[in-house]
Structure 1
Amino acid sequence: MNKAKKMPIGMKDLFYSKLLEDVKGGLTTYAPPKSLAGAVSGNLNPNGSITPFFSDDGPTVVVTSQGLMELELGIDALEKEVAAEIFGWRIDSNGVLIEGDSSNPPYIALGWRSETSDGGYKYVWLYKGKIQPPSEEYQTKGESVEIKSGSLNASFIKRDSDGEKKVSVHSNDEDIKPEVIVDWFTKVYEPDQELATP
């Protein structure tokens, strides 16, 4: 029996969660997830490398390594409260967003879901990264109005606690527990230490 192809055809429900603690050999804890912005597009590059070793006139060993996971994210617009939290900025008593040079943005987890061609959704969490403030583009209105969307660049690394970078699951997987999907955006998913038997 042929399974339906799970090709991505959408992106929605973009959430972030501030990383509170990440202890080597210990636990990683997060704040409750919050909505980041409306998702427009996402391009995730794992930046891995493959290096062959040659001997006896041919390749005999292939070594792989994982790099910095980079995400280019298209969004509609950021609320100032979200921008202040993810970039380490401040909002003063008059409600003005202050973008200081000495800001130290926190590590966050980033999650979303992508509709797929089989009618389900792929759910994703990236565990530990920082987002750069977006570039801003403005243009005067002419006879036709061009709407400008935002773009964010983020870099993600492995967690100190367990070395994990990313988790994902598909809602139509036969072995997935329903509560995993239901709870996906209420808390950052933590892997079960008991692995499934192949």
Structure 2
Amino acid sequence: MAYIGLRKPIIAQRTGAGKYSTPFVLGKAISLNVTPNYAEGSLNADDGQAEYDKEFNYADVTLGTSTLPIEAHEKMFGYTVSTEGKEVTMNANDESSYVGTGWVTVEKIDGVRFFTANVLVKVKYSEPSEEYSTKGDSIEYKTPSISGRALKEDDGTWKKVKQFDTEKEALDYIYKFFGVTNPQETV
């Protein structure tokens, strides 16, 4: 299996366990890194290791996108967005919300291309650091990268993955997971 693409980061604010508000696209995907972290423990007995356990604890998530839409500031980071949707006010007392995060990876297995829908069910992101520079002899793009932590649901689920033959099927799966009843209208 080889990953040969990353597309369509989709965010949906959590409204409860397994429930989400209307999802939105978080710019265009540039990079994504999901690093699971595990709690480990072992028992030594009779001069050797008798038991070993390793359980999912959380996953660190770093997502690079082409842009962060204004909607993300309100639904992800808890900032106040003006009624006309053009001004964001950030307050020290604002608190980030849990969101679901979906994306599509393109994979090639034995020469056959697949589109895989991926969903992290509960993630809390921090606002991105901001970096600016003056324009010089060449144009240099600066894009946002947000980081957060993915947690598990009460039933232990922290990620869902399903493979499809087309990108549309993978996107439909993600939108349906977030509760969109007619994904064709959203996509």
Task: Establish whether TM, by shorter chain, passes 0.5.
Answer: yes
Residues in 1 aligned to 2:114 and 2:176: alpha-carbon distance in whole angstroms: 21
Structure 1: which 5+ runs fail to align?
1-5, 23-27, 173-178, 191-198
Cα pair distance change 1:146/1:20, threshold 3 Å: same
Equivalence for 1:11? 6
The alpha carbon displacement at 1:14 in A equals 0.7
Once the two structures are overlaid, the 10-residue window that deviates more, 126-135 or 142-151, is: 142-151
Q: What are the Cα deviations for residues 12-47 of structure 1, in whole angstroms up to 9, with x where unaligned?
A: 01101111112xxxxx31123211121111111111
Where does 1:51-90 land on structure 2 (aligned, <5 Å)? 51-90=41-80
- Contact persistence 2:115–2:164 (CA under 8 A): yes
Residues in 2 aligned to 1:132 and 1:189: alpha-carbon distance in whole angstroms: 21
Equivalence for 1:99? 90
Residues in 1 aligned to 2:176 and 2:149: alpha-carbon distance in whole angstroms: 21
Residues in 2 aligned to 1:130 and 1:96: alpha-carbon distance in whole angstroms: 23
Residues in 2 aligned to 1:39 and 1:182: alpha-carbon distance in whole angstroms: 14
Q: CA RMSD in A?
A: 2.1
Instruction: Report SS of the residue matched to 1:61.
Output: strand
Structure 2: which 5+ runs fail to align?
180-187
Determine which structure has the larger strand proportion and give its number. 2
Q: TM-score, normalised by structure 1?
A: 0.79
Q: Does 1:159 align with 2:153?
A: yes
Q: TM-score, normalised by structure 2?
A: 0.83
- Contact persistence 1:41–1:74 (CA under 8 A): yes
- Contact persistence 1:68–1:155 (CA under 8 A): yes
The alpha carbon displacement at 1:185 in A equals 3.0
Please list every run of at least 4 consecutive aligned residues from structure 1 whose deviation after the TM superposition is greater than 6 angstroms: none
Cα pair distance change 1:93/1:20, threshold 3 Å: closer
What is the aligned length?
173
Equivalence for 1:21? 16
